[in-house]
Structure 1
């Protein structure tokens, strides 16, 4: 197949959608497909000259002219896959939501979340209508988790749909051993290092983490938090503002010196940082979800992970089997969970083993194969004139 992957962000831009699209493009190309990535002009095509896919950085602001460029760039393809996350497309504008009616090949939309686009001031209920229309007019819909699948199915009449989970965006081995990493960053052997991975925004529970850290330190535990990776992504400009607010909160709580920031790291260095922590702590304010690549990376890291109860039950996440679950937005509960795991090495090991096993079930070979199969099903159901070979 000649496949187009349409993404609002792509390396060297930072973000989960950028990493997802890069890995999916690589895996699909490895299965013998011709893959073309259509993305923003902020992505550098030269960086990918040796990649098994081609990069076409044609979009400036994801406006109407960009929609026309997109149509021209995809005209000879068999199928186009839009990696949808509203914030990744400029100011969350209207044009990208009309893509199914503009591109010539069948268009499949992968919904990485269901947040409604901003569109314009006072758009009101139109925002949800535009999202539903995108889902309903697409030749196929891929959701990354069952909760999103149920919500979309209830709100839109979908032509064809499936659920394919995402995988961890960290695939390389660690750059160094945990003891070496901790020594290089001034972390002593007896300090309890709590890792947090991912960008910092209001949904990630950063305030809960810092207040729990303050409680642990006040009780005498030699705890520190390491914020692993860049603090702000390419799409959400509020990340940097929220990060600064959290750093100010840490100072006011008296734990500023106990917070370590690594900044952006290479993939191998990121894996080394995750594996150097006593445990990972991801206290999402809206609950854990398998749509979060940061959580999947933590599960694959080999460390026990504390996270928050999902908004709706996720069968794969099992308390004290592959994660340790706490209520969201409750610093005291989070601090208590850290104490519990730190006092029980056997439980930490059990959770870590279970997490690694769960993460292995979300492997990229399966993700690419299932995506390929869904594309084939969509093409088989498409009108003959819509399929280009």
Structure 2
């Protein structure tokens, strides 16, 4: 089976959806499928590993992208076109939302799958709320199958959640067949060859008393970095913060990053905060393994849509996170998989950091439980769930052909 992924971001561009798409593509290839990726990045060099073939899209994601997408589809004739949809990744352009509608008009068309990585509405025009909801509705309704990454989003597309101006909130449930398939960790516990934890900690500037707190991911207002820095400022100097990554690709993220830097300067934290910048997957793994605790104070609560949480679980690093705002499946259990705080409030974070850093047995139990939980998000399992969706769609074509 040939699967064409369409994604607004892909490595070397920084972003969780791009990393996810590559990991999924690699695993599907391992399972015997053929995978190509249409994106606005450069073509890749096939380096002997099981890597998807990347087809560069020129000119951005406006209406002209239709002609390029159609040309690629006619050339490759994939059985499946799979759109990895994240609102901001397609430059807030509505063309991608209406591409499935256009593909329905192709003879012998491919089956269309959409994965919704978030349900934020695109910004189109001032006072255009109905139109914003309509273009998202069209994307989901014109797909042959819709994949959600978490149960909260599944509730929302089936009209079981409270309406929101910023999130897709249909009045009636989407009729497209839906499947919940969680994301996996984009970062496997595979540090660089010859990794030595003591050497890495020494290179970071540690002594015997240093406790490194790890935060992994982009700088984004929803992730609670300001609150974490405020808590750090109230802790003794032996507590230091390692921000792994820390990129800010979007304008709003860049404004937030400036606030982060201003707070670091205002609270005299420059000697206690290290920001790595962009890292290879193996270096991210090394930094996580070199840290003592992970602290992930999501303002909207922990969720399995957060790749940074899944990476921390996979590495078995004792983690502090905000409690989920909705029940998760499987459950994220307090003091079993992570130490949960009710809110991303500096005093709560400070107390949790002090508690976990001083309780070796609790750290051991959480690390053990985190690794067990991470098995639910393995890439072979995720790829197999995708294959089941694809095969169901292709079987339906064959059954209709027999009628």
TM-score (norm 2): 0.90
**Alpha-carbon contact 1:38-1:57 (below 8 Å) kept:** yes
Post-superposition shift, 1:382?
4.4
Give the whole-Å Cα distance in 2 for the aligned partners of 1:96 and 1:360: 34
Maintained 8 Å contact 1:132/1:152? no
Superposed displacement of residue 47, structure 1: 3.2
Separation in structure 2 between the aligned mates of residue 208 and residue 350 of structure 1, nearest angstrom: 26
| Residue 174 of structure 1, CA deviation | 1.4
Cα distance change, pair 172–307 in 1 and its aligned pair in 2 (3 A) = closer
Between the aligned partners of 2:227 and 2:20, the Cα distance in structure 1 is 28
Candidates 352, 355, 366, aligned match of 2:367: 352
Partner of 1:182: 201
1:212 maps to: 231
CA distance 1:27–1:253, shift in 2 (3 Å): same
Specify the alignment match of 1:39 in structure 2: 39
173-182 or 50-59, which deviates more: 50-59
SS of residue matched to 1:213: helix
> For residues 80 and 349 of structure 2, what CA distance do their matches in structure 1 show?
46
Secondary structure of residue in 2 paired with 1:300: helix
The change in CA–CA distance for 1:46 and 1:231 in structure 2 (over 3 A counts) is closer
Q: Displacement of 1:383 after TM fit?
A: 8.2
**How big is the shift at 1:193?**
0.9
- Equivalent residue, structure 1, for 2:143: 138
The CA deviation at 1:101 is 1.1
SS of residue matched to 1:64 = coil
Q: Which runs of 5+ in 2 are unaligned?
A: 104-108, 160-169
Which residue number in structure 2 is paired with residue 270 of structure 1?
284
Matches within 5 A, 1:15-94: 15-40=15-40, 43-48=41-46, 50=48, 51-75=50-74, 76-90=77-91, 92-94=92-94
**Range with bigger deviation, 250-259 or 73-82:** 250-259
Structure-2 separation of matches of 1:60 and 1:382: 34
Task: Give RMSD over aligned pairs.
Answer: 1.7
Does residue 160 of structure 1 match 2:177? yes
* Correspondence for 1:112: 117
Contact 1:93 1:120 in 2 (8 A): no
How many residues align? The count is 378
TM-score scaled by structure 1? 0.93
Quick one: distance in 2 between partners of 1:224 and 1:266? 22
TM-fit CA distance, 1:19? 0.6
Larger relative contact order (CA 8 Å, sep ≥ 6): 1
